[in-house]
Amino acid sequence: MPCGGRFGMRAPLARDFERFARALPRDFPDYVRETYRIDLSARYLGAAVPHPIGKGSGQLSLNEKQLEEDAAAGLAFAVLKTVIAQDARGAQAMAAWAIHESRMKVEHRRAGDGREGWTVTWKGRGWDRSLDEYLTLVRAGRDLTSAGTLLCVPSVKYHLPPLGEPFREEEYRYTTERLAAEWGDSPLPLEKDFSPTLAGDALAEDKAQILRWLREVPQHIRAHAAVRLALKLMNARFDDEFQLEMLTTAAAGADTLVVFNRLFDERLGVAYGGWDLSERNLRVLDAIADRPSDRPSVQLCGTGNIGTGRMILAYASRGCSSVQLHTFFQVPLSAYPAAAGSRTQRALHALVFHPDDGLVAGLLELEAQGQLERRGGELHFLDLADAHRHR
Ligand SMILES: Cc1cc2nc3c(=O)[nH]c(=O)nc-3n(C[C@H](O)[C@H](O)[C@H](O)COP(=O)(O)O)c2cc1C
């Protein structure tokens, strides 16, 4: 049994980092538990997952092949691309989000504080094929979920009316029922996307209107199927105070909140990420920590500019029991330290085993600083989020 402590572990960690650069074992959470006595178990949408790293909805969860590759890589969960809700006749109030756009540009973006980060520039929006084709993807996701190889979660953008107008109940009903029927098992895990392009839309200029959506959308979905519901919140174009109000409002009807989707650049008309995004997200999560009475009792899942284990721990110590990434699964191959494997494997290798910035190194460092204690001889990733909840 290796001796504890960050420095005693440094050499084995450096060796594992080098060795796993050639091939990451799929059961790396077991390996981490045995070798480092670290339990990476995490939670997403009420489900126990072997570690906290999942894939956010987007262009990297559009087809069965991507899901199978992620299952083989040992990813914890994948949120499927967002489909636009429709009624039985195919009408979509949010049709403007179902546009086709294949060109994406992975590029550097300089944050307000000068730091260079990655962003994906893309003018597309939601799923641009038929609902039937989406249901085929959902079926593949359900099979991987029930086989225990990869938890897959469908994502929907439903109708969001202006204040004073009713929700298009038929779109809520038809889409939710079709998804639930395809999933079979009950409850259906489901993410509802409030996207950054929505934040940039005239629809989202009114605070009362946004708060009404966050309050009422869950009941319109739950009326048609038993669901475990995550609301993926946008970064609205208002101050941190309003962002907190969104969080506490949404917490009332959701099982999990995904915090928070990308920022919107009004000048370029595109969503973006990078350091500005993590800076804002962590700042808002810090603010909620200072106000115990506002702290949501729902689970949180972090998203935004996660490219190191350290950043995962930054979200975790602010209450997130898992994270979902997109950009880091899409950067050029030269940006990963691993020399082989799928992008997902290479990303996991860096996120977990990097000897300075990885999850294992970061957890051992928290132990050395007295911020995390072993229980039953082990460090537990989830203790970070749980300690935050009970503080
Ligand atoms: C090209 C692209 C497409 C995306 N599409 C969706 C989407 O359809 N639905 C959604 O909820 N989030 C979408 N996202 C947001 C990501 O899932 C993720 O939450 C966000 O990019 C922040 O994480 P990151 O900094 O790791 O990219 C998309 C992101 C990118 C870069």
With vertex at residue 188, the alpha carbon angle to CA 182 and CA 190, rounded to the nearest 5 degrees, is: 105
Q: Does residue 99 sit in helix, strand or coil?
A: coil
In this structure, the residue with its CA closest to atom 6 of ligand 1 is 58
Phi, psi of 11 (to 5 degrees): -65, -45
In this structure, the residue with its CA closest to atom 30 of ligand 1 is 58
Q: Which residue has the tokens 């995962």?
A: 312
Q: 119: Cβ below 6 Å to ligand 1?
A: no
Q: 194: Cβ below 6 Å to ligand 1?
A: no
Q: Are 380 and 32 in contact (CB under 8 A)?
A: no
Q: Please list the pLDDT of the chain residue by residue as tens digits (391 residues).
A: 344 455 578 899 999 999 999 999 989 999 999 999 999 999 999 999 999 999 999 999 999 999 999 999 999 999 999 999 999 999 998 888 777 777 889 999 999 999 999 999 988 788 999 999 999 999 999 999 999 999 999 999 999 998 889 999 999 999 999 999 999 988 999 999 997 677 677 777 789 999 999 999 999 999 999 999 999 999 998 999 999 999 999 999 999 999 999 999 988 888 999 999 999 999 999 998 777 777 778 999 999 999 999 999 999 999 999 999 999 999 999 999 999 999 999 999 999 999 999 999 999 999 999 999 999 999 999 999 998 766 6
In this structure, the residue with its CA closest to atom 2 of ligand 1 is 58
Q: 192: Cβ below 6 Å to ligand 1?
A: no
Q: 196: Cβ below 6 Å to ligand 1?
A: no
Q: 82: Cβ below 6 Å to ligand 1?
A: yes
Q: Are 221 and 229 in contact (CB under 8 A)?
A: yes
From ligand 1's centre to the CA of 292, what distance in Å?
Answer: 30
From ligand 1's centre to the CA of 379, what distance in Å?
Answer: 31
Q: Six-digit token pair at 36?
A: 């480092």
Residue whose CB lies within 8 A of the most ligand 1 atoms, among 262, 270, 323, 348, for a mutation test: 262
d(CA 45, CA 364): 27
First vs last Cα of the chain: how many Å apart? 33
Residue by residue, DSSP assigns 314-332 as HHHTTTEEEEEESGGGTS-
Q: 281: Cβ below 6 Å to ligand 1?
A: no
- How would you classify residue 184: left for phi > 0, otherwise alpha for psi between -120 and 50, otherwise beta? left
Q: 341: Cβ below 6 Å to ligand 1?
A: no
Closest CA to 342 of 352, 351, 330, 354: 330
Closest CA to 361 of 6, 4, 12: 6
- Other residues' Cβ atoms within 10 Å of the Cβ of residue 278: 22
What global pTM score does this model have?
Answer: 0.96
Q: Does residue 115 sit in helix, strand or coil?
A: coil
Q: Six-digit token pair at 376?
A: 């039953």
Residue whose CB lies within 8 A of the most ligand 1 atoms, among 57, 79, 103, 315, for a mutation test: 57
d(CA 221, CA 100): 26
d(CA 131, CA 261): 24
Residue by residue, DSSP assigns 265-300 as ETTTTEEE-SHHHHHHHHHHHHHHHT-GGG--SSEE
Sorted by sequence, the CB contacts under 8 Å of residue 364 that are 6+ apart come out as 5, 6, 9, 36, 38, 379
d(CA 44, CA 232): 13
From ligand 1's centre to the CA of 124, what distance in Å?
Answer: 11
